[in-house]
């Protein structure tokens, strides 16, 4: 029995959390306490706070005239500006009336979920939602969301991502491998929030809510077959095709497995039109899928679907790469030593409480997670239950941390990014 209890405890010895996250939570708790004292003193109701929050929104609305005009069509849609600010493709979809207004609300318990609208194309679905409640809520979020058709068949998706914008609004994005096979959708999700100002009971509210909606894809994708191979400092990259859809552009390319360098990432891949306008990678969401030396590798860019450029080129110039047979770190966890690092960029290895940490001199253009697969000395994969990674920077240093559970003394970690580049300008005209 005691052994089992020990095992049980051990499971929680590795903390999947960063100190600053804990400190933030403590800070939030203190703020809550301070706020409550404030309310008590002044007897102000939450309604007043709502008014204050609204005032601060007004200043944000200063987008382009077409955008503003478009947004004005849908009452209460001003907030869309914020939700799409990092994505030129989604912004253009709204400007071009490709945003489908749903505006359906369902209330369960104390929680109301509104599906404001969606943008849908053949392979993607972006849902814009708002959560409201008569009660003051914090830490509001959606969980376990799913999309089903009218026969309750779940949509098979390739990626799903939550993009909460603030306490009440956000988007959820689904992307599929095959075209989405239906137009009548049911969105089912758990809506979760914690009551504020309830004398510290901290009730968690959780309701499962479903909303039906209809959304059609009316936009054909634009396909460019490229089939070109380019050489960058002797390394081959094959570009197969570019597919432009309203929500995003998919570039299918891959690095030649015969290259004598292992390419890890193409950092600045961009579509450029004749006027020099650029559509670069996704800034807030899924940036690529697959492994880069696999023929099915895909990189995603912001969409220029609604622009009609006369000419369009795919460009890039900076590629992260390391010598092929040196594409790994080797660490001695016991002595806390770096035994192999291809270009000796990293230092200060520590391994404590299941967290591995290494540092490098800060570089403005390097933020990627360098850690890939973890292997033992015989090259066997060391499976990890958790996949926590953290990246912190100060003025001079960047620190990369990864949770690793192992009893091995020597481990290899395959690189998934590395601050070493080969550089050469490449421009491939698409039309």
By CB under 8 A, tell whether 6 contacts another protein: yes
Report, in Å, the least distance between residue 14 CB and another protein. 10
Using the minimum distance from each CB to another protein, give the nearer residue, 28 or 427. Answer: 28
Q: Which 18-37 residues touch another protein, going by CB under 8 A?
A: 19, 21-26, 28-30, 32-33, 36
Instruction: Pull the structure tokens for residue 125.
Output: 């679905």
By CB under 8 A, tell whether 15 contacts another protein: yes
Taking contact as CB under 8 A, which single stretch among the options 6-14, 115-123, 294-302, 327-335 is the one that binds another protein?
Answer: 6-14
By CB under 8 A, tell whether 109 contacts another protein: no
Using the minimum distance from each CB to another protein, give the nearer residue, 197 or 345. Answer: 197
Angle at 38 between CA 34 and CA 41, to 5 degrees: 140
By CB under 8 A, tell whether 17 contacts another protein: yes
- Among 181, 202, 234, 290, the residue binding another protein under the rule CB under 8 A is 202
By CB under 8 A, tell whether 42 contacts another protein: no
Q: How many residues bind another protein (CB under 8 A)?
A: 37
Residue with tokens 């994505």: 87
Contact in structure between 421 and 267 (CB atoms under 8 Å): yes
By CB under 8 A, tell whether 135 contacts another protein: no
Instruction: Pull the structure tokens for residue 85.
Output: 């600010």
- Among 76, 179, 181, 200, the residue binding another protein under the rule CB under 8 A is 200
Q: Taking the alpha carbons of 410, 414, 417, 421 in that order, is the dihedral positive or negative?
A: positive
CA distance 61 to 68: 8
Start-to-end Cα distance in the chain:
71
Instruction: Pull the structure tokens for residue 255.
Output: 């690095």
By CB under 8 A, tell whether 236 contacts another protein: no
CA distance 26 to 281: 36
CA distance 123 to 216: 12
- Among 65, 201, 344, 407, the residue binding another protein under the rule CB under 8 A is 201
Report, in Å, the least distance between residue 16 CB and another protein. 6
Edge-first strand order for the sheet with 222-232 is 222-232, 235-244, 248-255, 298-302, 288-289
Alpha helices in 323-371 (DSSP H): none
Task: Return all residues near 98 (Cβ < 8 A) that are at least 6 apart.
Answer: 119, 219, 246, 306
Taking contact as CB under 8 A, which single stretch among the options 12-20, 209-217, 235-243, 400-408 is the one that binds another protein?
Answer: 12-20
Instruction: Give helix 65-72 / helix 88-95 axis angle, nearest 10°.
Output: 60
By CB under 8 A, tell whether 425 contacts another protein: no
Closest CA to 342 of 331, 332, 328, 358: 328
- Among 104, 141, 163, 362, the residue binding another protein under the rule CB under 8 A is 141
DSSP code string of 380-409:
-B---S---EEEEE-SSEEEEEEE-----S
Report, in Å, the least distance between residue 140 CB and another protein. 11
Query: For the window 372-391, what string marks contact with another protein as x by the rule CB under 8 A?
Result: -------------x------
By CB under 8 A, tell whether 308 contacts another protein: no
Using the minimum distance from each CB to another protein, give the nearer residue, 144 or 394. Answer: 144
Report, in Å, the least distance between residue 333 CB and another protein. 21
Report, in Å, the least distance between residue 10 CB and another protein. 9
Closest CA to 353 of 12, 112, 7, 3: 12
Which residues of this chain interact with another protein, rule CB under 8 A?
1-2, 4-9, 11-13, 15-17, 19, 21-26, 28-30, 32-33, 36, 139, 141, 194, 200-204, 206, 385
């Amino acid at each position: 029995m005691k052994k089992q209890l020990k095992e049980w405890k051990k499971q929680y010895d590795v903390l999947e959390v960063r100190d600053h996250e804990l400190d933030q939570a403590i800070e939030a708790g203190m703020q809550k306490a301070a706020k409550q004292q404030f309310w008590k003193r002044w007897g102000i109701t939450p309604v007043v706070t709502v008014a204050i929050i609204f005032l601060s929104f007004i200043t944000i609305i200063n987008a382009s005239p077409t955008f503003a005009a478009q947004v004005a069509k849908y009452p209460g849609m001003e907030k869309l500006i914020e939700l799409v600010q990092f994505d030129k493709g989604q912004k253009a979809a709204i400007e071009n009336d490709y945003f489908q207004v749903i505006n359906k609300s369902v209330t369960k318990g104390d929680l109301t979920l509104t599906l404001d609208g969606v943008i849908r194309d053949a392979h993607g679905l972006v849902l814009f939602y708002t959560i409201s409640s008569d009660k003051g809520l914090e830490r509001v979020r959606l969980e376990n969301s799913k999309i089903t058709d009218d026969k309750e068949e779940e949509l098979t998706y390739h990626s799903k991502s939550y993009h909460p914008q603030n306490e009440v609004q956000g988007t959820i994005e689904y992307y599929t491998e095959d075209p989405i096979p239906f137009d009548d959708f049911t969105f089912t999700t758990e809506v979760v929030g914690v009551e504020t100002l309830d004398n510290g009971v901290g009730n968690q509210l959780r309701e499962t809510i479903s909303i039906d909606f209809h959304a059609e894809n009316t936009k054909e994708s634009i396909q460019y077959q490229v089939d070109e191979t380019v050489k960058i400092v002797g390394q081959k990259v094959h570009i197969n095709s570019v597919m432009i859809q309203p929500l995003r552009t998919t570039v299918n390319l891959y690095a030649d497995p015969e290259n004598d360098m292992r390419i890890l990432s193409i950092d600045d891949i961009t579509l450029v039109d004749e006027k020099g306008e650029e559509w670069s990678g996704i800034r807030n969401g899924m940036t690529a899928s697959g492994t880069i030396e696999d023929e099915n590798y895909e990189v995603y860019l912001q969409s220029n679907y609604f622009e009609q450029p006369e000419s369009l080129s795919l460009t890039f110039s900076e590629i992260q790469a390391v010598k092929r047979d040196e594409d790994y770190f080797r660490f001695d966890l016991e002595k806390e030593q770096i035994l192999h690092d291809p270009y000796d960029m990293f230092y200060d290895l520590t391994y404590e409480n299941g967290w591995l940490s290494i540092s490098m001199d800060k570089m403005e253009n390097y933020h990627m997670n360098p850690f890939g697969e973890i292997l033992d000395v015989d090259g066997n994969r060391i499976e990890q239950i958790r996949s926590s990674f953290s990246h912190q920077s100060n003025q001079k240093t960047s620190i990369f941390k990864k949770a690793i559970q192992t009893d091995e003394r020597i481990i290899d970690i395959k690189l998934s990014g590395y601050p070493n580049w080969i550089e050469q300008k490449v421009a491939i005209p698409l039309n």
